[in-house]
Structure formats: structure tokens, C-alpha cells
């Protein structure tokens, strides 16, 4: 089971977007669909989907949060695993660019002979990269944090914080900018990757002017085994009390997380007329209260 799952917030397009991604990416499918009724946003579609073996969740819950490139997703096209990787990256780029926009054109760069950064028609950002890791561990999909604005220069601090919070963790690469690489300051993070609970992540500092920050448009679900684990992550990570709602929190860098029991879907489905209002009244999730409401 994937313990940390990216969660995408849509206005009304969660199912439409999930179906789109299953046509764009290989080894992709919708895993489940459900509806949470009578929320402040009305009835909300919930959809789970996988692309290239990596699990996502999405919700249609109104026009409150806009996704942006502060969290994007690397997609690796590895010729050692796929002889058609070069053709596949071009086809995927073309599909994502339909109604989307290029943040960095698909082209040759010093770090890859084929790379592009695209924001698709739904506002989700993807970094497509042709790479041959030559035996190194390289998952196909990697969520990536971009630290800009008020969090610029904090990528390394954030990586160390996440490594300290998650008990099963591993540091990967860490590369810094040197002198003369403006607009990036010397010593900030050019690229890093790290592993939390079996999932690889990347983190970078982004110099220059950017008009976006971390927000609830893309959050990260942590599936917890029980109340003790929920309590642990909540205490370690919640840094913005006013952001605490329905299992959601913000950490000290502004990244949104959802700290949920791993059987949250089953709990909510048992007696939704009663569990939904109880859940909506919570900040930190209390499993026993949901079980009592479910009956």
C-alpha cells in the first residue's frame, strides 16, 4: 500500500481529469469512485486513480484552491525499462499540452537530452524527463516540491524536516547552486531527492519571481494505521492552527497534508448521513468518534 498519496483539488472536474490521465499515461486506471454528500461545497466526487503504478486521489469540491507548480510530478521515461521511451515522452507531452501550456519547452538540457515541464488543462504540472539511471533506483512518478517566494532557500531545511518526521526515510541526491548561477543564490538547492515511507520525492529552490505558493490545491495524504499514528503526525507537522480542518493541516513551510486513517473511505461509507457531519466538525481526525457515528 502506498502510504503517502498526492491529493488533487478540482472545482467540478475530478472525474473528468482522472479519466483524461488514464488515456495519457501507461499502466493507468481509475481505482474507485465515491461521493461525499452535503458538505459546504455540496456533493463532492471522490476519485482514486493510478498512473504508471503510482496512486493519486482527487476531489471535486468547488473553486476554492487553484493548483500550481509549487508541487509538480516528475515522470521518468527510462529507455532501460522501455525501448520506446523516446517516442512515449513525445506523445505524452503532446497530450498534456492540449489545452495546457509549457513552463519549460520539451527540449535538450544539460541534465537530460529530452525534458519538458508542462501545466495541463486542469492546472496540474508535470515534468517529463528522458533518463537512464544505469541501475540506480528510479521510480516512474516522483512528486516534487518547489520552494519559491517566502520559502525560497528552505528546500534543504524542509527535506531534513520530512526525513526526521517519517520514521522510514532515506536521503538521495543533494546538489546546490554555485556562484554565478543567478537568479539562484549560491548554496540553495538545485535538486534533491529523498524517500519517505517507500515513496520518492524531489525538492528544489526556485530563484526569480514567482506568483504562486504551496496551497491546498495539491496536498499529500498520509494513511495512518491507527489513532496513535494520527496523533504523532499531527503533533509533528501542524504549524498553522487556522488551517486545521477535517484531517487537513499545514506544515511550517505551507505544504498541506491530510492525516487520515488508512480505512477512512470505509469508515465514511458505513453511515455517511452521520459520519459526514461528524467528520466536518473535526480538526484532527478522531477514529473512535467516526466509528461511533458509523454505528
Residues in the chain, overall count: 295
Whole-angstrom CA distances from 63 to 94, 96, 129 are 27, 22, 31
Question: How does residue 269 score in pLDDT terms, banded at 50, 70 and 90?
Answer: confident
Tens digits of per-residue pLDDT, 53-98? 999 999 999 999 999 999 999 999 998 888 899 999 999 999 999 9
* Assigned fold of 71-205: 3.30.720
Query: For residues 233-254, b (16+ Cβ closer than 10 Å) or e, as one string?
Result: bbeebbeeeebbeebbbbbebb
Start-end of CATH 3.30.720.110 domains in the chain: 71-205
pTM exceeds cut of 0.75: yes
Question: How does residue 294 score in pLDDT terms, banded at 50, 70 and 90?
Answer: confident
Q: Could you give the count of Cα atoms lying within 13 Å of 62 in the half-sphere of its Cβ?
A: 8
Beta strand extents in 120-176 (DSSP E only)? 125-130, 141-147, 169-176
Amino acid at each position: 500500500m502506498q502510504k503517502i498519496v498526492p491529493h488533487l483539488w478540482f472545482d467540478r472536474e475530478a472525474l473528468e481529469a482522472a479519466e483524461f490521465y488514464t488515456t495519457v499515461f501507461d499502466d493507468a486506471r481509475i481505482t474507485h469512485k465515491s461521493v461525499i454528500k452535503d458538505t459546504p461545497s455540496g456533493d463532492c466526487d471522490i476519485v482514486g486513480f493510478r498512473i504508471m503504478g503510482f496512486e493519486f486521489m482527487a476531489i471535486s469540491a468547488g473553486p476554492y484552491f487553484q493548483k500550481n507548480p509549487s508541487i509538480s510530478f516528475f515522470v521518468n521515461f527510462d529507455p532501460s525499462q522501455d525501448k520506446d521511451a523516446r517516442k512515449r515522452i513525445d506523445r505524452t507531452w503532446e497530450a498534456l499540452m492540449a489545452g495546457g501550456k509549457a513552463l519549460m519547452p520539451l527540449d535538450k538540457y544539460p541534465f537530460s537530452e529530452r525534458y519538458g515541464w508542462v501545466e495541463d488543462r486542469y492546472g496540474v504540472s508535470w515534468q517529463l524527463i528522458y533518463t537512464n539511471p544505469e541501475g540506480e533506483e528510479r521510480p516512474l512518478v516522483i512528486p516534487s516540491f518547489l520552494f519559491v517566494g517566502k520559502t525560497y532557500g528552505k528546500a534543504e531545511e524542509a527535506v531534513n524536516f520530512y526525513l526526521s518526521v517519517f520514521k522510514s526515510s532515506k536521503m538521495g541526491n543533494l546538489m546546490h547552486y554555485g556562484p554565478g548561477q543567478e537568479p539562484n543564490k549560491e548554496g540553495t538547492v538545485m535538486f534533491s531527492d529523498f524517500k519517505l515511507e517507500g515513496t520518492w520525492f524531489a525538492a528544489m529552490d526556485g530563484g526569480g519571481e514567482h506568483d504562486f505558493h504551496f496551497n491546498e490545491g495539491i496536498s499529500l495524504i498520509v494513511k495512518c494505521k491507527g489513532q496513535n499514528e494520527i496523533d504523532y503526525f499531527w503533533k509533528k507537522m501542524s504549524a498553522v492552527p487556522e488551517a486545521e480542518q477535517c484531517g487537513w493541516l499545514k506544515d511550517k513551510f505551507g505544504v498541506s497534508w491530510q492525516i487520515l486513517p488508512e480505512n477512512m473511505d470505509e469508515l465514511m461509507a458505513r453511515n455517511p448521513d452521520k459520519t459526514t457531519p461528524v467528520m466536518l466538525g473535526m480538526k484532527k481526525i478522531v477514529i473512535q468518534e467516526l466509528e461511533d457515528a458509523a454505528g
